[in-house]
Structure 1
Amino acid sequence: MFSLILHRGRRSRELHQWRNLMKAAPVINLLLPLQNASPPFTESFSSTTTTDLLSLEDERKRKTFTVSYLIDSLGLTTKLAESISMKANFSSKGNPDSVLKLLRSYGFTNSQISSIIATYPRFLVENPEKSLRAKLHFLKLNGASSSELTEIVSKVPKILGKKGGKWISHYYDYVKEILQDQDKCFFSSSPKQSNRTRNVSVLRELGVPQRLLLNLLISRAKPVCGKERFEESVKKIVEMGFDPASPKFVNALYVFYELSDKTIEEKVNAYKSLGLGVDEVWAIFKKWPFLLKYSEKKIVQTFETLKRCGLTEEEVRLMVKRYPECIGTSEEKIVKSVETFLELGFTNDEFVMIIKRHPQCIGLAADSVKKKTEFLVKTMGWPLKVVASTPIVLGFSLEKFIFPRCNVIRALVSKGLIDEIPAISTVLTSPKLKFLKLFVEKHKDVSADLVSIFTGDSSLID
Structure 2
Amino acid sequence: MCLKFICERLGLIPKRWQADSTTQLHFLRNTTPFIIRCLSASNQHSFTVSYLVNSCGLSPETAISASEKIHFENPKDPDSVIALLRNSGCTNTHIPKIVTKLPSLLLVNPEKTLLPKLEFFCSMGLSSARLTTILSSDPSLLGRSLEKDLIPKYNFLKSVHISNEDAIKALRRSSWSSSGNLERNIAANIAVLRETGVPISRISYLVTRYHAISLRSDKFSENVKKVVEMGLNPLKFTFLDALQAFCQTTESTRQQKMETYRRWGWSEDEILSAFRRRPQCMQLSEKKVNKVLDFLVNKMGWQPAVVARAPVAICLNFEKRVVPRCSVVKVLLLKGLVKKDLKLDHFLGLNEGDFVHKYVIKYQNDIPQLLDLYQGKVSFIELEFGA
Structure 2 match to 1:452: 372
Contact kept? 2:149, 2:178, Cα under 8 Å: no
RMSD, aligned α-carbons? 5.0
C-alpha distance in 1, partners of 2:297/2:148? Answer: 58
Structure 1 residues 264-296: Cα deviation after superposition (integer angstroms, max 9, x where no partner)? 3543334545x7428737433311224532222
2:307 corresponds to = 387
CA gap of 1:216–1:183, structure 2 versus 1, over 3 A, is same
Which residue in the other structure is 2:187 paired with? Answer: 268
Q: Give the structure 1 partner of residue 69 of structure 2.
A: 169
Counterpart of 1:62 in structure 2 is none
Q: Secondary structure at the match of 2:306?
A: helix
Name the SS of the counterpart of 2:301 in structure 1: coil
* Partner residue, 1:296: 217
Number of equivalenced pairs = 309
State how far apart, in whole Å, the 2-side matches of 1:425 and 1:228 are: 48
Q: What residue is the counterpart of 1:368 in the other structure? A: 288
* SS of 1:456 mapped into structure 2: coil
1:357–1:391 CA contact under 8 A, matched in 2: yes
Contact persistence 1:354–1:361 (CA under 8 A) = yes
3-state secondary structure, aligned to 1:206: coil
CA contact 1:380–1:406 (8 Å) conserved in 2: yes
How far apart, in 2, do the equivalents of 1:103 and 1:343 lie?
Answer: 60
| Offset from partner CA, 1:220-267 (integer Å, 9 cap, x none) | xx8842237634644676874343xx7x73325659984467853543
Unaligned runs of 5+ in 1: 1-101, 108-133
Q: Distance in 2 between matches of 1:235 and 1:193?
A: 23
Counterpart CA distance in 2 for 1:269 and 1:374 is 44
Cα distance in 1, alignment partners of residues 339 and 245 from structure 2:
41
1:198 equivalent to 2:116? Answer yes
TM-score by length of 1: 0.51
Aligned partner of 1:251 in structure 2 is 170
Is the CA contact 1:410–1:461 (under 8 Å) kept in the aligned structure 2?
A: no
Aligned-pair identity in percent equals 15
- The CA deviation at 1:369 is 1.9
- Native 8 Å contact 2:297 2:304 kept in 1: yes
Secondary structure at the residue paired with 1:390?
coil
- Report if aligned partners of 1:361, 1:394 keep a CA contact under 8 Å in 2: yes
Secondary structure of the corresponding residue to residue 350 of structure 1 = helix
| Cross-structure match for 1:148 | 52
Opposite residue 371 of structure 2, the aligned amino acid is V
Residue 452 of structure 1, CA deviation: 3.0
TM-score (norm 2): 0.59
SS of equivalent residue, structure 1 residue 458: coil
Distance 2:289 2:58 in 1: 37
Matched letter for residue 307 of structure 2 = V
Instruction: Indicate the SS of the match to 1:280.
Output: coil
Asked if the contact 2:185–2:214 (Cα under 8 Å) also holds between the matched residues in 1, the reply is no
Letter in 1 for 2:274: I
- Contact kept, 8 Å, 1:268 with 1:281, in 2: the verdict is no
**Equivalences for residues 276-425 of structure 1 within 5 A:** 276-277=194-195, 280=198, 282-289=200-207, 290=210, 291-300=212-221, 302-303=223-224, 306=226, 312=229, 314-315=231-232, 319-326=238-245, 328-331=247-250, 333-413=253-333, 417=337, 422-425=342-345
Q: Which residue does the alignment assign to 1:98?
A: none
Match of 1:182 in 2: 85
The offset of 1:316, in angstroms, is: 8.5
**1:330 maps to amino acid:** T
Match of 1:241 in 2: 163
Structure with the greater alpha carbon radius of gyration = 2
Instruction: From the superposition, tell whether residues 314 and 443 of structure 1 become closer, same or farther in structure 2 (CA, over 3 Å).
Output: closer
Contact 2:185 2:215 in 1 (8 A): no
Shift of the 201–371 alpha-carbon distance from structure 1 to 2, 3 Å rule, reads farther
Q: Which residue of 2 aligns with 1:46?
A: none
Report the CA distance shift for 1:337/1:105 in structure 2 as closer, same or farther (over 3 A).
farther
Structure 2 residue matching 1:169: 3-state secondary structure: coil
**Which residue does 2:26 correspond to in 1?**
none
Q: One-letter code of the match for 1:206?
A: L
Judged with a 3 Å threshold, the aligned counterparts in structure 2 of structure 1 residues 437 and 278 are, in CA distance, closer, same or farther, namely: closer
Superposed CA offset, 1:357-400 (max 9, x none): 11122222332222111111111211111111111222211111
Note if contact 1:255-1:292 (Cα within 8 Å) is conserved in structure 2: no
- Please name the residue that 2:134 is paired with: 212
Q: Distance in 2 between matches of 1:278 and 1:176?
A: 53
Residues 321 and 336 of structure 1: is their aligned pair in 2 closer, same or farther, counting only changes over 3 Å? same
Letter matched to residue 86 of structure 2: D
2:52 counterpart letter in structure 1: E
Determine which structure has greater relative contact order: mean sequence separation of CA pairs < 8 Å that are 6+ residues apart, divided by chain length: 1
